[in-house]
Amino acid sequence: MKKISIILLIAIGFINAQTSSITIGGTGTSATSAHITVTTDGYKCPSEFIVESGASLTTWDPSAICSASTGGGGDVSLPVELAEFIAAQIGSAIVLQWRTESEENNIGYILDRKEDNGDWICISDYKTNSDLLGNGTCSYSNEYEYIDNLVQPNTTYYYRLADVSTDGIVQYHNKISVTTESFENATIPDQFALHSAYPNPFNPVTTIRFDLPKQSDVKIIIYNNLGKIVKVLINSNLNAGRHTVQWDSKDRFGEAVSAGVYLYKIEAGDYQATKKMILLK
């Protein structure tokens, strides 16, 4: 392939642009054009762009680049105005919480984690976890929470949060870090156990505790009194230890369920157990 120098189409209107360095990669055998994909720290534009040779590439506003692929005029409203993103150790887990002031065309979130010298790894996203679904377009505040149970004591973890718009734009926010201390109740349980939910009866949130004597693939599933699945609270590999998970009386679509009797079931290796809880309204 011929080596070419390229410039993005300068018809893009960079109105009040804030520059951000970008990485490009492309294919094409012509010295006059090539298809490239643009990626920045804050955006991953889904489309390819035709570019022309003859000039060097400097820095550009990534939001303007992305708007060009959808016919925009230069400025793009960010999908999410993030007010807060925090992490704290609670017991043997790290609880991550974030709050938005407003959202625009927000499909949902991607949550990445890494250790000191490691690579970023996606630990959960809106495609596999309904708790990470966005609220579309809204002008009011929303709160979100994710519990990372697969952590070790005396370790520093870094987290970064991204929101995804209906246009496919991925916006990454500032990363945060938390260093775990020695776990409470660090003694490994002798056997699998599913404990009674507390409070029970409850309205609208209850906490479910369970014990793992060894690292296991775990599912915690909520059923209604007809035996239909309401929500899968956990579906992941967890360390041995004592764990908790909360249910906020919402189904997998984020809708509040009606009052009544519900069952919660654990599947961990060959171990299975089911208990009952009552939601009051």
Q: What percentage of the chain exceeds 90 in pLDDT?
A: 42
Domain count, the chain: 3
Q: pLDDT tens for residues 45-72?
A: 433 333 333 333 333 334 434 433 333 3
Evaluate whether residue 74 is within a structural domain: no
CB 214 within 8 A of CB 270: no
Same domain, 167 and 148: yes
Q: Which domain holds residue 204?
A: 193-279
pLDDT in tens, 177-233: 999 887 765 567 889 999 988 888 888 888 898 999 999 999 999 999 999 999 999
pTM higher than 0.75: no
Residue 38 covered by a domain:
yes
Instruction: From 179, 203, 223, give the residue that closes a domain.
Output: 179
Spatial CA neighbour of 162 closest among 279, 79, 234, 239? 79
Residue 174 lies in a domain: yes
Which DSSP category does 222 fall into? E
**Secondary structure of residue 186 in the 3-state scheme:** coil
- The 10 Å CB-count burial string (b at 16+, else e) for 26-50 is bebeeeeebebebebebbbbeeebe
CA distance 135 to 169: 16
Domain assignment of residue 175, yes or no: yes
